[in-house]
Structure 1
Amino acid sequence: MIPSAFDYAAPTTVEEALSLLAGADASGDDVKLLAGGQSLIPVMKLRMADPSLVVDLGRVAGLSGITDDGGSLTIGAMTPHHTVATDSLVMAHAPLLAQAAQTVADPQVRHRGTIGGALVHADPAGDMPAPVLALDATFNITGTNGTRSVAAADFFQGYFTTAVEEGEILTSITVPKYTGWGSHYEKFTRVAQQWSIVAVAAAIRVEGGTIAEARLGLTNMSSVPLRAASTEAALAGCELREDAIAAACAHAADGTEPASDLNGDAAYRRHLATVMARRAVLAAVGLHGLKG
């Protein structure tokens, strides 16, 4: 199929983009923002989205790139996945994001798709929401009244729903530095380049031969990304032994509400979460155990 006819605008500033959004809202027109287009274009072709105006953010200055802010990194919302996956600052200070970005779809999608577009799309099976949640990122959202910051824990609000309101644009994501932490993104799919059936994002700080702090994000275990709070608590102070880590990760699915679909029922996903959590933590701390 092909999309319905629509008007197209390509602003060069955030202010111009916001003006277009405000004008469309005032006239009652349905408007969609176009980032990399890897999510929007397919649903427009299926006419699941039928906007009268598409505002392309690709020419807006200042929405792409990664900067070092001292204690954190700021990633422009229009930064492609490939850049996140290969950037030296990200790999040094937030390697979990780079590892997750490396698993997104295929090279073509990673070069066109953007981190901001993926996060605002908020697909529960998407690979970027859980890592930014695990890392306590902050989302910087700009509207006509200025810019506001929203914590990752409050950003994802339901299936394909975020804190970005009508007439607003996600402009950047601020990620605290986790220099020296071990990390790993463990993803389970049946075929290559598939959406995650279940995935676990793990960032681990080791001190004196034990796990001092653990952060685990869960992909596709609810309508929004979740923190594996029970496992994080159980890992704190845990010795670097496979049996101890496995026992802590047995709680990874606590409090989750995974969906049942053709890829597996809820019970299957809960089991996968414990397996993926164990694998992710073992890899993050350098104990690459058995793959069972």
Structure 2
Amino acid sequence: MIPFDFEYYKPDTISEAVNTFHDLQNQGKLVIYYSGGTEFITFSRINQLKADAVIDLKGIADCHVLEFQGDQLVIGSAVSLNQISESNLFPLLGKTFKKVADHTSRNKITLGGNLNSQLIYREGILPLLLSDAKVKIAGIEGELVLPLENVFTEELKLDAGQFLEQIIIDKNYTALPFVSIKKTKISKVSYPVVSIGALVKDQQIRAAFSGVCQYPFRSKQMEAALNESSLSKTERIDKAVTLIPSEIIDDIQASREYREFVLKNALLEIYDSLEATLA
């Protein structure tokens, strides 16, 4: 049971959602948006999240889009992880989401919920970083379409009153060779010790990581090392690991040393999986 009372709103339009947010905020209330509500319920029950009012985005049609529109794949923030996986419109994203939580939970967890998660993993961001995705953001100033990298630094950085409406991906990225690897301590749906998404574009490996640091990331410096053809695979991997942008996590899931060991072996698996496409 959630140990506090809150007001609940489910607007039908973007403008209604934004105006409701600002009206409530002007009344001095703590307001949050949600789409799936999974984390709101979980963290509220253990007193790690509180709100005076919640605005449910699932009533907004634009947040449920899942289709190709011309040369772009458009995915609404309220689309569930299972819907994305089962559509197979972006296989790398779908395979990544199949490894997040259990099947029942994935019916409730949404794209927006995963990308805005309070947990450090946010694995759905990996394929989006690799595919130069754009985000459509709604706010009091209207709707903005921006490169994902402009609003993602360790986490999505949105202004108060803004929310993620859609993700937009160039169709070409959805057909590129890819691999998704997730290494866990116990079951396959546990938090990752290491999670890597990789694809090949223009004969170059792109890779993004979760579970390695306190935030998911894509490092072009690491990619340069992984694609340095004058070095052996092992040498490339060793060099890439020295370029990780932050300290490797040391926690109950795995020690820092073990995580580095798993990471190196996972990168070798990626080379083996993608080798034919690099020839």
Settle same-fold status: TM greater than 0.5.
yes
The alignment partner of 2:58 has SS state of: coil
Aligned to 2:245: 256
Aligned to 2:182: 187
What's the CA shift for 1:8?
A: 0.9
1:40 matches 2:28? no
Structure 2 residue corresponding to 1:146, chosen from 138, 142, 146: 142
Letter in 2 for 1:267: E
Letter in 2 for 1:156: F
**RMSD of Structure 2 on Structure 1 (CA):** 2.3
1:144 and 1:168 in contact (8 A); partners too: yes
1:178 matches 2:178? no
1:272 matches 2:262? yes
The alignment partner of 1:194 has SS state of: coil
Letter in 2 for 1:255: I
Aligned to 2:209: 218
Cα distance per residue 1:37-60 (max 9 Å; x no partner): 222210111121110101111222
Question: For the residues of structure 2 that align with 1:285 and 1:27, how far apart are their CA atoms?
Answer: 58
Structure having the larger proportion of residues in helix: 2
CA 1:180–1:7 in 2, change beyond 3 Å: closer, same or farther? closer
The alignment partner of 1:171 has SS state of: strand
More off after superposition, 175-184 vs 111-120:
175-184
The alignment partner of 1:39 has SS state of: helix
Aligned to 2:57: 57
Say how many residue pairs are matched.
Answer: 273
2:185 and 2:254 in contact (8 A); partners too: no
Letter in 2 for 1:183: F
Letter in 2 for 1:198: V
Question: For the residues of structure 2 that align with 1:188 and 1:122, how far apart are their CA atoms?
Answer: 21
CA 1:252–1:24 in 2, change beyond 3 Å: closer, same or farther? farther
Structure 1 residue corresponding to 2:220, chosen from 229, 237, 240: 229
2:194 and 2:263 in contact (8 A); partners too: yes
2:137 and 2:163 in contact (8 A); partners too: yes
1:24 and 1:31 in contact (8 A); partners too: yes
What's the CA shift for 1:62?
A: 1.8
% identity of equivalent residues: 23
CA 1:129–1:186 in 2, change beyond 3 Å: closer, same or farther? same
What's the CA shift for 1:230?
A: 3.9
What's the CA shift for 1:128?
A: 0.8
Aligned to 1:10: 10
1:30 matches 2:24? no
Question: For the residues of structure 1 that align with 2:117 and 2:237, how far apart are their CA atoms?
Answer: 29
Flag structure 2 segments of 5+ consecutive residues without an equivalent: none
The alignment partner of 1:197 has SS state of: strand
Question: For the residues of structure 1 that align with 2:130 and 2:17, how far apart are their CA atoms?
Answer: 31
Question: For the residues of structure 2 that align with 1:53 and 1:101, how far apart are their CA atoms?
Answer: 29
CA 1:152–1:266 in 2, change beyond 3 Å: closer, same or farther? farther
- For residues 40-189 of structure 1, what are the structure 2 equivalents within 5 Å? 40-90=40-90, 95-121=91-117, 123-158=119-154, 161-176=155-170, 177-189=172-184
Flag structure 1 segments of 5+ consecutive residues without an equivalent: 207-211, 288-292
The alignment partner of 2:73 has SS state of: strand
The alignment partner of 2:107 has SS state of: helix
Aligned to 1:209: none
